[in-house]
Structure 1
Amino acid sequence: MATPTVVLLPVWAAGHLMSMLDAGKRLLARSGGALSLTVLVMQAPTEKDRSEVASHIRREEGSGLDIRFHHLPAVEPPRDYVGIEEFVSRFVQLHADHMKAAISALTCPVAAVVLDFFGTTLFDVCRELSVPAYVYFTANAASYALMLRLPALHEEVTAEFGEMEGMVDVPGLPPVPPSSLPLPVMDKKNPNYTWFVYHGRRFMEADGVIINTVAELEQSVLDAIADGRCTHGIPGPTVYPVGPVLSLPSSPRDEQPQPHECVRWLDAQPPASVVLLCFGSGGFFTATQAHEVAQGLERSGHRFLWVLRGPPAAGTLQPTDANLGELLPEGFLERTKDKGLVWPTKAPQKEILAHAAVGGFVTHGGWNSTLESLWFGVPMVPWPLYAEQHLNAFTLVAYMGTAVAMEVDRKRNNFVNASELERAVKALMDGDSDDGRKVRKKATEMKAACRKAVEEGGSSYSAVGRLSEDIRKGAVRVSE
């Protein structure tokens, strides 16, 4: 009989696509040849995204693993959307018929379908085909717990969350300030809020939820989910914490090509002396904010590597390479040339975080970046910009203890004053800072926990094994 396959349907964004693929490859390895992978590829809505997806696929096709890619027909993207959550949810929904046809045409048994968490509308297709449906959740367990809790919170909190009295109850977490909720949750009239509630409700229909987290990082949250405390006592789907799922270089540095210029600059810096500032694929600064950052860094006196991107071009969403002459204060680069490097385009974040010279990380707090920082034991200062990052910042500071808090003004588009950045960097990097000592110690503990989790016998290794066994039980042959 043909090897049963697990069908993956990822969203095209790199943080979703590559994370799901890497989790799929772990599942493939643990199955011992009992499973294969079939990846249904949606045609991304922009040429730039399509080019990046094609590059990722070429690399995976050359890996020699039992992974097949099936490109779905293009669909016309929605035009009348308010925000990214609504856009992605509706765009995925438009692929229902194409997904059904692709799965129906497979000649091997289908063990399961794994959907991105924006794809819960496609549960309906899985039910029509009588195929088990799993969700791959790229954010942390805290965000998943909030989304499970949100349908009930919607009824309990009649006002806008920003106007409510007291804290928000998310079981397993300390009381959450309303200001730490994800941006889409802050406006109940916004379609993005509606989609958050919708997905939170439909997660309960999944046969299982695979989360890119480590049990030891979020144990009380995972316990609350398992006990039904997020869902009025009703047990939710089985959760498989399989993280950290990271694409890390497989060969030692001395076997790799010429090191990146940022890495070569770090080679000349003392151990744990440099604070990295990097804000993900969507983070950028205006000149006004960049001036505040420059002043704060200069006054802190600490060494820094600042990956600075400029605002998107008109009609686009992606940051541009920074024009340093326009964004930075006059004379800043000259005054800081012995202590700092400003890099105006993309940089190899994982290689930088792995470097011994890096002692702290000012980050937007995206979950992939957070896991990378924890993997290398680098403490953080979160500067949330969008999506669920404000909740991530809260969990890093108040729950995990791996970050120094920084005041971010959400009403001013997440603005940070120079004095506040200076304070936070000093607290993070100064050797005699109590806050710095505490978060460095906690980050070191989390590094050990993350690495132990993926080793044989570790919590994530065992979760992948359970997932493999559960999926293999569900293999069915699908026909028109």
Structure 2
Amino acid sequence: MEFPNRDNKIPILVVPFPEQGHLNTLLHFSLLLSSQGLPVHFSSSSIHNHQARHRLQGWTSASLHNITFHDIPIPSLPPSTPNPNSTHNFPSHLVPIWEFVIHHLRSPISSLLHSLSSSSPLILIHDHVMSFVIAEAASIPSIHTFKFQCVPANFLLPYLCESTSKPWPDNNMFFSPLPDIVPEEVSTFFKKLYYDTPCEGILFNTSLAIEEPFIDLLAKQDDFVGKKIFAVGPVSPLTVMDNKSGPRHPCLEWLDKQPPKSVVYVAFGSSTTIPVEQIEQIAIGLEKSKQRFIWVLRDADRGDVSQEAELERVKSLLLDFDKRVEGMGMVVRGWAPQLDILAHGSTAAFMSHCGWNSCMEGMSMGVAMLTWPMHSDQPSNARMITEYLKVGVMVREWEKRDEVLKWEKVDEAIRKVMVDEEGLEIRRRAKELGEKIRDGIEGGSSFEQLLAFINYISGFK
């Protein structure tokens, strides 16, 4: 992707929310902008900036030098350990960490806003959850603010429907908010953190190939009328490049030996901790399916991921399972190169928690999805994938979120995609959707939307 050269050197400040999925998305977008010669500043705690850089995939190490990182020093983080026996799947153990970090970010980011806008206009791109930065920016007339949404457009529509009296199409399943997507105490935390703020535009990590009807509908709602909306996704690279020297991850060496489109990739993200009883059922289901698989088995992130050792709970689980499935499957205990796995020619399907990053990455690579939503926007994302786009199957319905899913259901979902006649059609649609998304990046709608955004901010003098 190449854009016309520009003389505009207005700085861009990007402020992410300090959680892996948000850090990852905003860093990818920052790299997209900096690759076009735009001066990008990326500001978070030193701990979270390190996390974002360390886990980056798809870009060369040298590309990071094109961004100015503002590593804000903070005291040692309070201890936080994921609870595998929690009554819900939301990573509530991280809420005190987020509160602590945001408290220490407020003053330094305020100073940064003033310094970067002192001699020229400043473009501020902030995570939609980090609304507090607007309070300070609003008093500085040379700052132009854009909100980055890390959830898809259709996720927002039910909540706008609740707050307006406008008629809605009664045949669209997306206009019924799902219950219990976050615990009450977590919802209270986000309500304190997030409030409606003025901005000139909204950026989405989505593609018109996926969400054009929802983007069009969103643009007509009161909260969005008069604002620029840019669907610039996927912001993660489509061509995966090694960004570190040294040997490849062992799972990629294993994938090299498997037949084309024969492997199910199983991973539930960085914010999910699965109880032992459920892990055991997943293991049986994978083994019974007789399908090749890579399973990333890890607990949710704790506060400072650079200080984390492999959790003993995860390390000791299913040790005999490794031997039983040797040759057919591989268990990765720890971080895995997801983009590389999804882009690999041997990967056919992705059993996922349906975080929006993972959805975009899986759909972009044209793999079929096996959806197992855990919290937040994930249940809505799973419905869109299975019921609207029809590029996947539901493993566990949201209505059964409090139950341990039996191995038979895991086996059934895998076979439906990998073996049954129905699966051939699902995989065909997934491949076709992946091609449409990639076409959008390679000169199509996503290219044009990113170009429109860059042209728009280039007009500020």
Give the TM-score range, shorter chain.
0.7 to 0.9
C-alpha change, 1:242 and 1:340, in structure 2 (3 Å) is: same
Q: How does 1:239-278 map to 2 (within 5 A)?
A: 239-247=229-237, 251=241, 257-278=246-267
Unaligned runs of 5+ in 2: 1-6, 80-90
Q: Is the 8 A contact 1:455 1:461 kept in 2?
A: yes
For 2:181, the equivalent position in structure 1 comes to: 183
**1:143 paired to 2:155:** yes
Q: Is the 8 A contact 2:33 2:40 kept in 1?
A: no
Deviations 1:311-338 (A, max 9, x none): 789999979456678422x854343223
Opposite residue 433 of structure 2, the aligned amino acid is M
C-alpha change, 1:40 and 1:308, in structure 2 (3 Å) is: closer
Q: Is the 8 A contact 1:172 1:220 kept in 2?
A: no
**1:39 paired to 2:42:** yes
Q: How does 1:62-461 map to 2 (within 5 A)?
A: 62-63=62-63, 66-72=66-72, 74=74, 84=94, 88=98, 91-92=101-102, 95-106=105-116, 108-130=119-141, 131-146=143-158, 148-149=160-161, 151-152=163-164, 173-175=172-174, 178=177, 180-181=178-179, 183-184=181-182, 187=184, 190=185, 192-193=187-188, 195-196=190-191, 199=194, 202=196, 205-228=198-221, 231=222, 235=225, 237-247=227-237, 251=241, 257-310=246-299, 320-321=310-311, 326-328=316-318, 331-408=320-397, 413=402, 415-430=404-419, 432-434=420-422, 436-456=423-443, 458-461=444-447
C-alpha change, 1:269 and 1:65, in structure 2 (3 Å) is: closer
Alpha-carbon distance, 1:109 to partner = 1.1
Alpha-carbon distance, 1:290 to partner = 1.4
Q: Is the 8 A contact 2:49 2:71 kept in 1?
A: no
Structure 2 counterpart of 1:18, from 21, 24, 35 = 24
CA distance in 2, matches of 1:26, 1:460: 12
CA distance in 1, matches of 2:140, 2:171: 36
CA distance in 2, matches of 1:313, 1:242: 30
C-alpha change, 1:444 and 1:146, in structure 2 (3 Å) is: same
C-alpha change, 1:191 and 1:67, in structure 2 (3 Å) is: closer
Alpha-carbon distance, 1:384 to partner = 1.4
SS of the residue corresponding to residue 183 of structure 1 reads: coil
Alpha-carbon distance, 1:251 to partner = 4.2
Opposite residue 26 of structure 1, the aligned amino acid is L
SS of the residue corresponding to residue 255 of structure 2 reads: helix
For 1:161, the equivalent position in structure 2 comes to: none
CA distance in 1, matches of 2:259, 2:189: 49
Deviations 1:385-421 (A, max 9, x none): 2332112111111122111112246666563211111
Mean Cα displacement is larger for which, 379-388 or 306-315?
Answer: 306-315
C-alpha change, 1:372 and 1:414, in structure 2 (3 Å) is: farther
CA distance in 1, matches of 2:70, 2:320: 53
Alpha-carbon distance, 1:66 to partner = 4.7
CA distance in 2, matches of 1:281, 1:311: 5
C-alpha change, 1:76 and 1:342, in structure 2 (3 Å) is: closer
Opposite residue 195 of structure 1, the aligned amino acid is F
Deviations 1:239-276 (A, max 9, x none): 100010114665489x9753321122222222222211
For 2:85, the equivalent position in structure 1 comes to: none
CA RMSD of aligned residues (A): 3.9
For 1:166, the equivalent position in structure 2 comes to: none
Q: Is the 8 A contact 2:273 2:298 kept in 1?
A: yes
Percent sequence identity is 23
Q: Is the 8 A contact 1:284 1:308 kept in 2?
A: no
Unaligned runs of 5+ in 1: 157-168, 476-480
SS of the residue corresponding to residue 40 of structure 2 reads: strand
Q: Is the 8 A contact 2:202 2:228 kept in 1?
A: yes
For 1:478, the equivalent position in structure 2 comes to: none
Deviations 1:41-79 (A, max 9, x none): 3344xxxx464256479x998437653223345379899
Alpha-carbon distance, 1:207 to partner = 0.9
C-alpha change, 1:134 and 1:77, in structure 2 (3 Å) is: farther
Opposite residue 71 of structure 1, the aligned amino acid is D
Mean Cα displacement is larger for which, 362-371 or 143-152?
Answer: 143-152
Alpha-carbon distance, 1:355 to partner = 1.8
Q: Is the 8 A contact 1:214 1:450 kept in 2?
A: yes
The number of aligned residues is 439
CA distance in 1, matches of 2:186, 2:106: 21
CA distance in 1, matches of 2:367, 2:324: 27
CA distance in 1, matches of 2:62, 2:376: 33
C-alpha change, 1:149 and 1:318, in structure 2 (3 Å) is: farther
C-alpha change, 1:256 and 1:248, in structure 2 (3 Å) is: farther
For 2:454, the equivalent position in structure 1 comes to: 468
Alpha-carbon distance, 1:151 to partner = 4.5
SS of the residue corresponding to residue 394 of structure 2 reads: coil
CA distance in 1, matches of 2:173, 2:22: 28
Q: Is the 8 A contact 2:24 2:52 kept in 1?
A: no
CA distance in 2, matches of 1:414, 1:364: 16
SS of the residue corresponding to residue 460 of structure 2 reads: coil
Q: Is the 8 A contact 2:30 2:42 kept in 1?
A: no
Q: How does the TM-score come out when normalised to structure 1?
A: 0.78
Mean Cα displacement is larger for which, 126-135 or 283-292?
Answer: 283-292
